[in-house]
Structure 1
Amino acid sequence: MPQSPTPDQVRQAQAKAEKLYQELKSGADFRKLAVSESDDAQALKGGDLGWRPAAQIPTIFADVIPDLTKGEVSQPIRSPSGFHLVKLIDTRGGDGKQISREQASQAIFQRKVNDELEAWTQEIRASAYVDNRLDKQ
């Protein structure tokens, strides 16, 4: 969808996502549909996001993935850029159990905190470097 979609554009995108979801439920090949229908950067890879630890799962998918079983496709998920369909191919690591919604949310929250802390640390270092250089002049 465009950056500021009209209500009609949202309805059209949602209808397309629902249609694709129904096709997938009827046995359509996820990879082929991703290549032919998706605008995502991973479309030409069949929509494959690769193996990711829970902390690296895109936030918009974090609430959906723990509820999926292997091979299952999510209902359309709305984001600012459009609608997404997620298929869980497999899980690995840990004890083989899927993580809970709370664990996924906590991992994503922790990643965001760590990212913010790192950015803040870099900002302080840069400021200290500039201050130090000014003091030497």
Structure 2
Amino acid sequence: MDEERDFNQRNIDEFRANGGKVGGQFEGFPLLLLTSTGAKSGEQRINPIAYFDFDGAIYVVGSAAGRDRDPAWAFNIRAHPNAVVEIGTDPPRPVTARELPREERDRIYRRVVEQAPGFGDYEKRTDRVIPIFELVPAG
């Protein structure tokens, strides 16, 4: 867990230092920083997450690279859907996370895979339904 937190922190620092750009495995892929409230701890958690902008709506995918468990941030935003996102050099803004119902999720997931085929591989690695959340501007 410490290794994953260190990895995330390095990417968070790079994101903030470079106007939302991160190198390495994320180079060229749109990332946002999601600040959520821990489902159990109640503490603020920041995660760099790939996002998709389809028709002006922002979506994040709880793929966890195809692992058999949703990422921690997905549990957090289910428990506490009010969150904050940072995209590029824009100031942080409040959002409400809305988990997509199955039919809508399936339609959006097809678009995700068209844009980023690796997400199709993630889906093949697990038996779980990989969740998708829309991050709706709050207020």
- TM normalised by structure 1 equals 0.32
More strand by share: 2
Please identify the structure whose Cα radius of gyration is greater. 1
More helix by share: 1
